[in-house]
Chain A
Amino acid sequence: MTTLSKVSRREFLAGAALTGAALTLGCSFEAEADRVGATALAPNAFLAIDSDGRVLVTVNKTEMGQGARTGLPMLVAEELDADWSKVVVETASFDPSKYGFQGTGGSGSIRGAWEPLRRTGATARAMLVEAAARRWNVAAADCRTENGFVIHPSDAAKKLSYGELVADAAALPIPDATAVKLKDPKDFKLIGRRVARYDNPAIVTGKAVYGMDIRLPGMRFATMVHPPTFGGKAKQADDRDAKAVPGVEKVFVTDRGVAVVATNTWAAFEGAKKLRVAWDEGPHGELSSAAIRAMFAEKAKSPGDVARNDGDFDAAFATAAKKLEAEYEVPYLHHATLEPQNCTARVTADSCEIWAPTQFPNFVMDEARRITGLDAARIKIHITLLGGGFGRRIEADYAADAVEVAKRLDGVPVQVTWTREEDMRHGWYRPASLHIVKGGLSADGRLAALLHRLVAPSIRGQRQPDGGKGVDPGAMAGIATTQYDAPNFRAEYVRANTGVPIGFWRAVFDSQNGFVQESWMDELAQAAKADPVEFRRKLLGKSPRLKTVLEVAAKAADWGKPLPKGRARGVAAHFSFGAFCAQVAEVSVADDLPLVHRVVCAMDVGTVVNPSQVEAQIEGSIVFALSAALYGAITVEKGRVVQSNFNDYPLLRATEMPKVEIHLIKSAEAPSGAGEPALPPTAPAVCNALFALTGKRIRKLPIALD
């Protein structure tokens, strides 16, 4: 199998031989749709079928491990009745006029493509059928399609491959995509099947091209030393020792720090270590985690802006038979994509070309325009594979570095790679937060009053000069959108911006709000002397889908059945990104350290396009959540991030991997998101299990049992 994806559309249509050299070049990401020849059928920018019957699908979402380059083409191929082995995938270069919105995030790739890409496939299919019908002089309605062929059922001789029909079909008018008939889901052949990842052959042979793998003739390798403090600036750099490192060619100060340019990355890294930089520490040189915590605590004393208000919390709480209050907190977290931030660029007086591992090429474009002063028409952005995204690569700071450096190199291409340490200390962190929760129970143990006050910085506000005002709906995700039917419920948001750069992280605010809400539900259930599953079930009358996954997970995990001594179960459920998810975790403790043995997950994501991918996303979300719950914390001292590498920011290891069992609910609904919604329930399920085992309630992450 070869990585046809690296072949330009022009080469593809010319049927160019795929040589090993072409495969490993890694820099021909061209989507030259404008050069589509007359023999290709291309109803829009996302699909082209050539006379060899090959089906080129152009994907407008970044592949970052979520399977966009498999799942999106599956949608086209399903309605086209294509032969999957003839599908060739390319990632679109940045061109919103042709490809629409190219940002990737929010568990939205399949959700957004579900309708349009199926219609794309159906449109091409209708044209191929029409072409065959005309040739055979039969009614189109009497023809059917199968695995890349149009067939006339009553005559075995009437069978034509798509390739043979392309020329005729391309000459037909393109039907209205909104009017073409889509399949009845019961006729799906590909959707719902375990289709292996398109890029597997390239990945397992080391040929997959990530940002750091771009190689261009004459290119240089560079690294950046960024200001150690948030908002700092380099005043000047003494580069004598750096320049003495063999291979180091240039050192210069940019707006974003100090760049070291060399003939290889290692020389750039060595040179960077030898720089002596005078920094202007900027406004946050004294910032610390303790000060941030104190500011949150002060702000938590006053009520916030009301994001949701059902009934009358104050009155109901005042008269409740039993009252509970607690404070929860979570730290800043880093994405720690395994591929550190990097980007490659070439800038001349009148052109700029960028090879970016980015989730949001539109932000890369903004940075490139700002730095070069060129028009968008003169800036070309290629999107590589990503060695992990998780929201980190929504930002475009690494691209700004590459363009800044390339601008000073007169047309010589340069790849800027951050060291792991730079990556760890110059992130856009998952916001830290403090939560005040209150609950009132009636004499018969019903939930009578509920308050959730979130004190946290606003990601959107960070981009506004005044920090923003009022409720940040993004920050209230999972709180204001709770599925529990609490009669007197108030959700409040207290804006608490800090100097720490914050950004989108896998499940962002749902990750923390879900942790708090589901831990608090457990506390309330315990106070009501109720079974945690039963307590939740009773509150889910208005959310049958969340109730179902809760029941399925509980049953599959043998909820209520005895466990060996030293083991306990905990449960949590959460709705986010359109999906419903419940998990039961099974834990034990050894030497004050939690061990997670098993996680049973039931999830309703609507229609499952590719079970292998949905399950992979669930497994990945659970691991991501466990790394955070057990170890994750970014702390700040003197305006600097303390952590530097995987020694002080550990990730879960193979030896700590629980057995993950997944139950997907059969559904005819449109697909929801799948990349994030399995993350929020994991930490509370584990913490609730630890409470069941030890009697100690975990109200602060990461988990500390001693």
Chain B
Amino acid sequence: MPVTITVNGVKQSCEAPPEMPLLWALRDVLGLTGTKYGCGVGLCGACTVHVDGVAARACLMPLSAVGEKSVTTIEGLSPAGAHPVQQAWQLEDVAQCGYCQPGQIMTAAALLAKNPKPSDEEIAAALSGNLCRCGTYQRICAAVRRAAALRKGSKPA
């Protein structure tokens, strides 16, 4: 029984059982491999996507829980990389191996949508569920600050 879900603005049929976590439906059924597997149990944040604009762990969310909600993955944030968070990530040269970065970027984008001017503490707290084994945290925080400034259209302080 295929499930119907909306991913990156496209309503589509997904050939998968309703208990399959969104992560694997995205990666192995729909071919959207930008969302990553890191732990499978909600501990690392590599699988972070937006569900109705809110950051969610795709490894913990069965397709049945997605329902009518709208899913955005890293591929849908801005395919050209024009989202302020994606821009800031490049300007701050954040990525090392880059594997955690789609999850970091999705978490940061959801944070800024809710809180356009987060403090350093709020940035760290929002991203504390996203592990980076390569240790890019310092640049991640700098990039979120820069993205906040880019969103305002002003230069970062």
B116 located at the interface, meaning its Cβ lies under 8 Å from any Cβ of chain A in the complex: no
Residue of A nearest to B87 (CB): A204
A459 located at the interface, meaning its Cβ lies under 8 Å from any Cβ of chain B in the complex: no
Pick from B27, B34, B35: contact of A265, CB under 8 Å: B27
Cβ A205 vs Cβ B44 within 8 A: no
Size of chain B's interface in residues, with CB distance under 8 A?
63
Cβ B97 vs Cβ A206 within 8 A: no
Q: Per-residue 0/1 for A628-649: is the Cβ within 8 Å of any B Cβ (1 yes, 0 no)? A: 0000000000000000011100
Size class of the contact patch on chain A: 35 or more
| 198-249 of chain A: CB within 8 A of chain B | 199-201, 203-210, 212-213, 215, 221, 246-247
Cα distance A63–B95 in the bound complex, in angstroms: 12
| 168-208 of chain A: CB within 8 A of chain B | 194, 196-197, 199-201, 203-208
B43 located at the interface, meaning its Cβ lies under 8 Å from any Cβ of chain A in the complex: yes
Cβ A269 vs Cβ B28 within 8 A: no
Pick from B17, B96, B127: contact of A620, CB under 8 Å: B96
Cα distance A417–B33 in the bound complex, in angstroms: 14
Cα distance A340–B133 in the bound complex, in angstroms: 12
A302 to chain B, nearest CB (A): 39
Cβ A65 vs Cβ B97 within 8 A: yes
B49 to chain A, nearest CB (A): 10
| 59-77 of chain B: CB within 8 A of chain A | 73-75, 77
B79 located at the interface, meaning its Cβ lies under 8 Å from any Cβ of chain A in the complex: yes
Pick from A208, A247, A417, A654: contact of B130, CB under 8 Å: A654
B56 located at the interface, meaning its Cβ lies under 8 Å from any Cβ of chain A in the complex: no
Cβ A654 vs Cβ B140 within 8 A: yes
Cα distance A526–B112 in the bound complex, in angstroms: 49
Cβ A264 vs Cβ B28 within 8 A: yes
Listed stretches A146-154, A381-389, A441-449, A463-471; interface member: A381-389
Residue of B nearest to A70 (CB): B93
Residue of B nearest to A67 (CB): B96
Cα distance A269–B33 in the bound complex, in angstroms: 18
Cα distance A387–B136 in the bound complex, in angstroms: 13
Cβ B95 vs Cβ A420 within 8 A: no
Residue of B nearest to A202 (CB): B98
Q: Per-residue 0/1 for A390-413: is the Cβ within 8 Å of any B Cβ (1 yes, 0 no)? A: 100000000000000000000000
Cβ B80 vs Cβ A205 within 8 A: yes
Contacts of B79 in A (CB 8 A): 205
Main secondary structure of the interface of B (DSSP, over half): loop
B156 located at the interface, meaning its Cβ lies under 8 Å from any Cβ of chain A in the complex: no
Known contacts A388-B99, A653-B128; is A338 also within 8 Å of B24 by CB?
Answer: no
B108 to chain A, nearest CB (A): 11
B124 located at the interface, meaning its Cβ lies under 8 Å from any Cβ of chain A in the complex: yes
Cβ B98 vs Cβ A212 within 8 A: no
Pick from A1, A205, A264, A386: contact of B97, CB under 8 Å: A386
Known contacts A645-B39, A651-B133; is A657 also within 8 Å of B34 by CB?
Answer: no
B7 located at the interface, meaning its Cβ lies under 8 Å from any Cβ of chain A in the complex: no
Contacts of A655 in B (CB 8 A): 124-125, 128
Cβ A387 vs Cβ B128 within 8 A: no
Q: Per-residue 0/1 for A655-669: is the Cβ within 8 Å of any B Cβ (1 yes, 0 no)? A: 101011000000000
- A26, A265, A336, A338 — most chain B CB neighbours (10 Å): A338
Cα distance A336–B129 in the bound complex, in angstroms: 16
| 49-68 of chain A: CB within 8 A of chain B | 63-67
Pick from B20, B75, B91, B96: contact of A65, CB under 8 Å: B96
Pick from B17, B43, B101, B130: contact of A203, CB under 8 Å: B101
Contacts of A336 in B (CB 8 A): 133
B131 located at the interface, meaning its Cβ lies under 8 Å from any Cβ of chain A in the complex: yes
- A200, A204, A612 — most chain B CB neighbours (10 Å): A204
Residue of B nearest to A246 (CB): B17
Cβ B43 vs Cβ A387 within 8 A: no
A266 located at the interface, meaning its Cβ lies under 8 Å from any Cβ of chain B in the complex: yes
Pick from A199, A266, A338, A622: contact of B133, CB under 8 Å: A338
Cβ B31 vs Cβ A264 within 8 A: no
Contacts of B135 in A (CB 8 A): 619-624, 652
Pick from A389, A647, A660: contact of B43, CB under 8 Å: A647
Cα distance A417–B23 in the bound complex, in angstroms: 14
A222 to chain B, nearest CB (A): 12
Main secondary structure of the interface of A (DSSP, over half): loop
Contacts of B123 in A (CB 8 A): 654
Known contacts A387-B99, A388-B134, A647-B43; is A205 also within 8 Å of B74 by CB?
Answer: yes
Contacts of B97 in A (CB 8 A): 63-65, 337-339, 385-389
Cα distance A653–B100 in the bound complex, in angstroms: 13
A616 located at the interface, meaning its Cβ lies under 8 Å from any Cβ of chain B in the complex: yes
A393 to chain B, nearest CB (A): 11
Contacts of A197 in B (CB 8 A): 93, 95
A102 located at the interface, meaning its Cβ lies under 8 Å from any Cβ of chain B in the complex: no
| 107-150 of chain B: CB within 8 A of chain A | 123-125, 127-141
Residue of B nearest to A335 (CB): B133
Known contacts A196-B93, A204-B101; is A265 also within 8 Å of B24 by CB?
Answer: yes
Known contacts A246-B17, A652-B135, A655-B128; is A340 also within 8 Å of B37 by CB?
Answer: yes
Cα distance A207–B35 in the bound complex, in angstroms: 10
A107 located at the interface, meaning its Cβ lies under 8 Å from any Cβ of chain B in the complex: no
A498 located at the interface, meaning its Cβ lies under 8 Å from any Cβ of chain B in the complex: no
A91 located at the interface, meaning its Cβ lies under 8 Å from any Cβ of chain B in the complex: no
Cβ B20 vs Cβ A645 within 8 A: no
Cβ B40 vs Cβ A420 within 8 A: yes
Contacts of B78 in A (CB 8 A): 205
A433 located at the interface, meaning its Cβ lies under 8 Å from any Cβ of chain B in the complex: no
Cα distance A461–B59 in the bound complex, in angstroms: 40
Cα distance A197–B134 in the bound complex, in angstroms: 15
Cβ B96 vs Cβ A339 within 8 A: no
B121 to chain A, nearest CB (A): 8
Pick from B37, B41, B75, B129: contact of A206, CB under 8 Å: B75
Known contacts A388-B97, A616-B93, A624-B135; is A215 also within 8 Å of B33 by CB?
Answer: yes
Cα distance A263–B23 in the bound complex, in angstroms: 15
B50 located at the interface, meaning its Cβ lies under 8 Å from any Cβ of chain A in the complex: no
A93 located at the interface, meaning its Cβ lies under 8 Å from any Cβ of chain B in the complex: no
Contacts of A420 in B (CB 8 A): 38-41
Residue of A nearest to B21 (CB): A266
Known contacts A645-B39, A645-B43; is A194 also within 8 Å of B93 by CB?
Answer: yes
B16 located at the interface, meaning its Cβ lies under 8 Å from any Cβ of chain A in the complex: yes
B51 located at the interface, meaning its Cβ lies under 8 Å from any Cβ of chain A in the complex: no
B55 located at the interface, meaning its Cβ lies under 8 Å from any Cβ of chain A in the complex: no
Cα distance A622–B139 in the bound complex, in angstroms: 14
A519 located at the interface, meaning its Cβ lies under 8 Å from any Cβ of chain B in the complex: no
Contacts of B20 in A (CB 8 A): 264, 266
Cβ B28 vs Cβ A338 within 8 A: no
Beyond A265-B28, A386-B97, A387-B36, 9 additional contacts (C-beta under 8 Å) are A200-B95, A203-B102, A206-B32, A215-B31, A264-B20, A389-B97, A620-B135, A646-B44, A655-B124
Report A's interface with B, CB cutoff 8 A: 1, 26, 63-67, 194, 196-197, 199-201, 203-210, 212-213, 215, 221, 246-247, 263-266, 269, 336-340, 385-390, 417, 419-420, 612, 616, 619-624, 645-647, 651-655, 657, 659-660
Query: Can you list 8 A-B contacts with CB-CB less than 8 angstroms, sorted by A residue number?
Result: A64-B97, A197-B93, A200-B90, A205-B80, A263-B28, A265-B24, A265-B37, A337-B97
Nearest 7 CB-CB pairs, A to B? Answer: A206-B34, A623-B135, A387-B99, A65-B97, A206-B74, A65-B96, A266-B24
Report B's interface with A, CB cutoff 8 A: 16-17, 20-21, 23-24, 27-29, 31-41, 43-44, 46, 73-75, 77-81, 86, 89-91, 93, 95-102, 105, 123-125, 127-141
